[in-house]
Structure 1
Amino acid sequence: MISAFFIYSLRGELIVSKYVKLSVQKSMAEVFRIQVINNLDVRSPVLTLGSTTFHHIKTTGNLWLVSVSRSNADSAAIWEFLYKFSVLLKTYGLDSETELKDKFMTCYELLDIVLEEGVPMDTELTNVAAKMSIKPLMVPDTFHNSSDNTGSGSDRIIPRSGLLKRRSSSFISRSSTNEQQSNIPWRRGGIKYKKDEVFLNVMERISILVSKDGSILKSYVDGTVDVTTHLSGMPVCQFGLNDALSVTSPFQDYPVGTANKNAIPKAAAGSVMLEDCKFHQCVQLDKFQNDRTINFVPPDGNFELMKYIVRENLNLPFKVSPIVTVSRSSSIEYRITLKSLFPSKISAKDVQLRIPVPPETVKCQFSTSNGKCKFVPEESAIIWKFSKYQGLTENSLSATAFPVRDVQSSIDQWSKPPMSLNFDIMMFSNSGLVVRFLDILEKEKNYNMVKWIKYISKSGAYEVRY
């Protein structure tokens, strides 16, 4: 990722240089000095010359920190590394030109620890200090406070996003509380609640495009698992889904609760193929890769545990069947059937079908079996609304749009935008994803955890052509 790393003084003197890749020429240091430091017109923090990219920041001690990349590198990870390393320099008293020249060997030792073969590694002070030959000048609490600073300028430290690799997953070990806290920067110690609760929301947005003949051209679900924890101490949670790759025994010991059986359709009883999974930094990734269980020490309060995409075997909540014809009088007739496909015990709310009409339309006549319907001229659309739509029910709409006279040619050229559907459904999973278990591994604290699990399905781009 990083081919070379330079530190310059304010006037452009090269103080520290580390060449990771042999492909980087020594002259690159001089190129940056000429193109950026000595060029008063440069304002961008990124400079690309051919296949070489310079990412650079200026520290509070007026030092230039420069990363050189020769490939398609992850800029977010490089920015995080530069800002974290600037705080490490300040912590070890190397944030000025004079101090850096006197203690340059300490800087090289820091680089050897946090930059391994060009890949940024763990930059948490407590982990870095344990590997250093000398101790930092600032205490760890001061470091964490400065890392959480949300100010502007070079003092602002990017929150740890999980892009940097962790060398160790020892945060779930049964070591002392102090050691656990030092490895878990996202959770403070000493948290106590009278009632231990976890609120877990599986939120999904389904996007679908249906062709004129009723075939599905594309369909996918964007999902997130949002968690709110009110847990005492330093709990280690274990969380599992009916992921298609979970072929071993973890799910067999955790039967699905009665609430899930009543709420989730039978299609969810199988497995779901998850794609593009992204996790919060608290998740122990090696456990997920090995046995598909999600182990984590949660932050206190609300956070996003994971994101995912599902493209196969989706549970479609609605079926829209439109018939649109143009009469001899240039009016357009609509015959639309809207059918809900989710269980009858569930109801959708705020259901809205948007039906486009030609821009030249001056009035509409319509009749519906249920719901409210109105013509919105400024949007060139008929809006069909339901405050509540019960599962396994069907409703129909008949409408006629009357355009301005003698506009047959415009109607023939009308692009016919697709109809779009919006809805919210509680306790329904479009992907069939089910939370199989959520438990606390540390039983010695006698946890009486109360779990609240909710499934929320919403519409994304739910469109139907006609």
Structure 2
Amino acid sequence: LSAQVLICRNYMGNMDMNEIDHFMPILMKREEDAEMTPVVSHGSAHFMWIKHSNLYCIHLTNSAHSTVYHKVCFLQVFKEYFKELEEESIRDNFVTVYELMDEVMDFGFPQTTDSKILQEYITQQGHKLEVGAPRPPATVTNAVSWRSEGIKYRKNEVFMDVIESVNLLVSASGSVLRSEIVGSIKLKVVLSGMPELRLGLNDKVLFEITGREKSKTVELEDVKFHQCVRLSRFENDRTISFIPPDGESELMSYRLNTTVKPLIWIESVIEKFSHSRVEIKVKARSQFKSRSTANNVSILVPVPSDADSPKFKTSTGSAKWMPEKNVVQWNIKSFPGGKEYIMRAHFGLPSVESDELEAKRPITVNFEIPYFTVSGIQVRYLKIIEKSGYQALPWVRYITQSGGENRHMEIDPYTNRPSQTHTINGRLFLNTRS
């Protein structure tokens, strides 16, 4: 394995750039010894690296205490500029890449990393020199650096997505052992001028301050805001006031310790027969009210890799074998609340007594439930104030989806022991107009 330096910049002038020749041999040796780490060293030179596609982004430093932030900055900016970050896009945009490297970093330290600001004066057609002294764009020096002056739209709108990821840990008996909701509020702003927005949530602390009814509130924890939010005002009276960036951005993130029950409960058992045959029985039960319906439900049931001769029987929907993934996929287009369905899958299994039968791969459930929320968070109002007094439409959408660790314990389908986990991946949509 060989590597060629595509592009580089020595910011501080204190490193021998020939040190890069030692990187690939060291990395190959680490890979052979199964000792891969994000930092490798050669003498006093330290290589902090990230691999993206067929590219290595390497930060060469003589300090072992540097951070990976430098590489992450560049990768994110390059991806937003070139869409597909690969060798060809780097070669086709050498001039732009060097300009970005000079603007993003100042003497080796991150400076301007917002691609919206960078695109104001670095284009993919190259930087155009102007007569006279160079002048940075207003967004670099302005107090509202995340938004440009003079933005105009014919139709003014704000689209707000309240997105929540639900993490569940449930015992085999059905009791919730751990429940957590990690949320974020994302904006798509199509507004003229320099508007001020004020967002009101059913925040428990706010309701306690104002002495309002507390029954329908949520307790936000670990709240993090975009730099546009006036933190002092939020700390004083919990008002979320801000001048938003143009286009798409994440306004805030938060966490809720709210107990959530599994919306679709799965039970699964396996029965062994003579002549190397098995039957997998999966029962799915919706645990939400009958007025709601889960759409596009997909239940993925793992089977051993040597299974063959599949036969299926379902009380609703259809099942198919996906041998490339070693799973049975049970699809249910519409799953009303309070219903229960069953799927049976028969397989030939030459090595029925093999260890693979004890596999610990999870059963996965994907679904969408329209007009349904889990946590109870609500956008009470979204006010738009702009000096010209134009009318603007705010739109709010609630989305609940699975978290990375969204799983609960269930009966192991291969051993009938309560040690198998399965994952619930849900997407729930609610569209409202404020």
Give the structure-1-normalised TM-score. Answer: 0.57
Which residue of structure 2 lines up, in the alignment, with residue 270 of structure 1? 217
Query: What amino acid does structure 2 have at the position aligned with 1:457?
Result: T
* Secondary structure at the counterpart of residue 287 of structure 1: helix
For 1:180 and 1:295, how far apart are their aligned partners in 2? Answer: 22
For 1:54 and 1:404, how far apart are their aligned partners in 2? Answer: 49
Which residue of structure 1 lines up, in the alignment, with residue 201 of structure 2? 241
The one-character-per-residue Cα deviations of 1:139-184 (angstroms, maximum 9, x if unpaired) are xxxxx6677536699x9xxxxxxxxxxxxxxxxxxxxxx9999322
The answer (yes or no) to whether the contact 1:229–1:302 under 8 Å persists in 2 is yes
- CA 373–47 in structure 1, closer or farther in 2 if over 3 Å, else same: closer
For 1:79 and 1:221, how far apart are their aligned partners in 2? Answer: 28
Give 1:185's match in structure 2, choosing from 139, 145, 148. Answer: 145
- CA 75–48 in structure 1, closer or farther in 2 if over 3 Å, else same: farther
Query: What amino acid does structure 2 have at the position aligned with 1:369?
Result: S
Which residue of structure 1 lines up, in the alignment, with residue 244 of structure 2? 298
Which residue of structure 2 lines up, in the alignment, with residue 18 of structure 1? none
For 2:105 and 2:169, how far apart are their aligned partners in 1? Answer: 53
* Secondary structure at the counterpart of residue 271 of structure 1: coil
The answer (yes or no) to whether the contact 1:358–1:414 under 8 Å persists in 2 is no
For 2:125 and 2:63, how far apart are their aligned partners in 1? Answer: 26
The structure with more radius of gyration = 1
The answer (yes or no) to whether the contact 1:324–1:332 under 8 Å persists in 2 is yes
Which residue of structure 1 lines up, in the alignment, with residue 69 of structure 2? 75
Which residue of structure 2 lines up, in the alignment, with residue 414 of structure 1? 358
- CA 320–273 in structure 1, closer or farther in 2 if over 3 Å, else same: farther
The answer (yes or no) to whether the contact 1:366–1:397 under 8 Å persists in 2 is no
- CA offset at residue 386 of structure 1? 1.9
The one-character-per-residue Cα deviations of 1:173-205 (angstroms, maximum 9, x if unpaired) are xxxxx9999322322223334443221111233
Query: What amino acid does structure 1 have at the position aligned with 2:278?
Result: I
Give 1:336's match in structure 2, choosing from 282, 288, 313. Answer: 282
* Secondary structure at the counterpart of residue 16 of structure 2: helix
Q: How does 1:363-442 map to 2 (within 5 A)?
A: 363-390=309-336, 392-405=337-350, 407-410=351-354, 413-441=357-385
For 1:309 and 1:416, how far apart are their aligned partners in 2? Answer: 30
Unaligned residue ranges in structure 2 (runs of 5+): 1-9, 25-38, 49-59, 75-98, 128-137, 412-434
The answer (yes or no) to whether the contact 1:67–1:78 under 8 Å persists in 2 is no
Which residue of structure 2 lines up, in the alignment, with residue 221 of structure 1? 181
For 1:86 and 1:204, how far apart are their aligned partners in 2? Answer: 38
The one-character-per-residue Cα deviations of 1:11-49 (angstroms, maximum 9, x if unpaired) are x9x9xxxxxxxxxxxxxxxxx74x5378685889x9989
* Secondary structure at the counterpart of residue 388 of structure 1: strand
Q: How does 1:1-150 map to 2 (within 5 A)?
A: 33=14, 35-36=15-16, 41=21, 75-76=69-70, 149=122
Which residue of structure 1 lines up, in the alignment, with residue 92 of structure 2? none
For 2:203 and 2:147, how far apart are their aligned partners in 1? Answer: 28
The answer (yes or no) to whether the contact 1:357–1:401 under 8 Å persists in 2 is no
Unaligned residue ranges in structure 1 (runs of 5+): 1-9, 15-31, 56-65, 91-110, 112-119, 125-143, 156-177, 257-265
- CA offset at residue 225 of structure 1? 1.8
- CA offset at residue 250 of structure 1? 6.5
Query: What amino acid does structure 2 have at the position aligned with 1:319?
Result: W
Structure whose residues are more often strand by fraction: 2
Which residue of structure 1 lines up, in the alignment, with residue 302 of structure 2? 356
The one-character-per-residue Cα deviations of 1:433-457 (angstroms, maximum 9, x if unpaired) are 2222211355x54343322111122
For 2:112 and 2:377, how far apart are their aligned partners in 1? Answer: 36
- CA 232–441 in structure 1, closer or farther in 2 if over 3 Å, else same: same
For 1:360 and 1:213, how far apart are their aligned partners in 2? Answer: 32
For 1:209 and 1:249, how far apart are their aligned partners in 2? Answer: 33
For 1:318 and 1:89, how far apart are their aligned partners in 2? Answer: 49
User: Is 1:454 the counterpart of 2:397 in the alignment?
Assistant: yes
Structure whose residues are more often helix by fraction: 1
Query: What amino acid does structure 1 have at the position aligned with 2:394?
Result: K
For 2:68 and 2:238, how far apart are their aligned partners in 1? Answer: 26
For 1:459 and 1:389, how far apart are their aligned partners in 2? Answer: 18
Which residue of structure 2 lines up, in the alignment, with residue 99 of structure 1? none
For 1:422 and 1:40, how far apart are their aligned partners in 2? Answer: 46
The answer (yes or no) to whether the contact 2:321–2:329 under 8 Å persists in 1 is yes
User: Is 1:205 the counterpart of 2:165 in the alignment?
Assistant: yes
Query: What amino acid does structure 2 have at the position aligned with 1:280?
Result: H
The answer (yes or no) to whether the contact 2:168–2:260 under 8 Å persists in 1 is no
Query: What amino acid does structure 1 have at the position aligned with 2:157?
Result: E
The answer (yes or no) to whether the contact 1:272–1:431 under 8 Å persists in 2 is no
The answer (yes or no) to whether the contact 1:425–1:458 under 8 Å persists in 2 is no
- CA 122–441 in structure 1, closer or farther in 2 if over 3 Å, else same: farther
Which residue of structure 1 lines up, in the alignment, with residue 91 of structure 2? none
The answer (yes or no) to whether the contact 1:418–1:465 under 8 Å persists in 2 is no
Give the structure-2-normalised TM-score. Answer: 0.61
User: In percent, how many aligned pairs have the same letter?
Assistant: 30
For 1:357 and 1:271, how far apart are their aligned partners in 2? Answer: 41
- CA 294–385 in structure 1, closer or farther in 2 if over 3 Å, else same: same
The answer (yes or no) to whether the contact 2:373–2:400 under 8 Å persists in 1 is yes
The answer (yes or no) to whether the contact 1:221–1:430 under 8 Å persists in 2 is no
The answer (yes or no) to whether the contact 2:100–2:122 under 8 Å persists in 1 is no
The one-character-per-residue Cα deviations of 1:200-235 (angstroms, maximum 9, x if unpaired) are 111233344545444546544343322122223211
